[in-house]
Copies of this chain bind each other. A is one copy, B any other.
Amino acid sequence: MAEALGSDQLERILLSSPYHQWLALRLRQCSAEGIEIGMGWREEMVSNVQIQSTHGGILAGLIDLTGLFTILAAGGRVTATADLRVDYHRSARPGALVARGRPLKLGSRLCTAEVYLHRQDDDALVASGRGAYLNAGA
C-alpha cells in the first residue's frame, strides 16, 4: 500500500473536478480511518419542487465520490468506481449535507468503502451506501 495522500493534496484533487465544484464540496476532515466532506445546496439539485427534495442522483454522486476519497485517504490508489449501491432513508431538504466515509477493505485489486449522508442542521441520516473501486496499483 502506497503512502496515503495528505489533506491538502486530497482537497486539490477533489476540487479539480468541475462536477465537484458545481456541488460546492469542502473536505472537512481526513485521516486513514475516514473522511468527512461537506456539500452545499443549489436549486438545480431539486428533484420534486413541491417538497423541495434533493435528487437521488446528487446523493448517489456524493456517496460515490466520498467513498473514493475515503480510499485515497487510507492509502489506496483507486482510479475508478467499479460499482455503487445507495439506500435512501429520508428526503433531503434544502441545506448542506455532510458525508462521512470509512474504508471497509483495501484489497490489491478492489477497495470498498461505506458512506453515510447526514443533514448538517439536525444530523438526520438521509442516505447511505457503498462503493467498490478499482485499484490502479494492481
State the Cβ distance, A30 to closest chain B Cβ, in Å. 20
The quantity of this chain's copies bound in the complex is 4
In the complex, residue of chain B having the shortest beta-carbon distance to the beta carbon of A84: B86
Interchain residue pairs with CB less than 8 A apart (24): A18-B43, A18-B49, A19-B46, A19-B55, A21-B44, A55-B65, A57-B57, A57-B65, A60-B64, A60-B86, A81-B88, A82-B88, A83-B83, A83-B85, A83-B87, A85-B130, A87-B104, A87-B132, A89-B104, A89-B105, A104-B128, A109-B134, A114-B114, A130-B130
A: residues with CB less than 8 A from B are 16-22, 43-49, 55-58, 60-62, 64-65, 80-91, 104-105, 107, 109-110, 112, 114, 125, 128, 130, 132, 134, 138
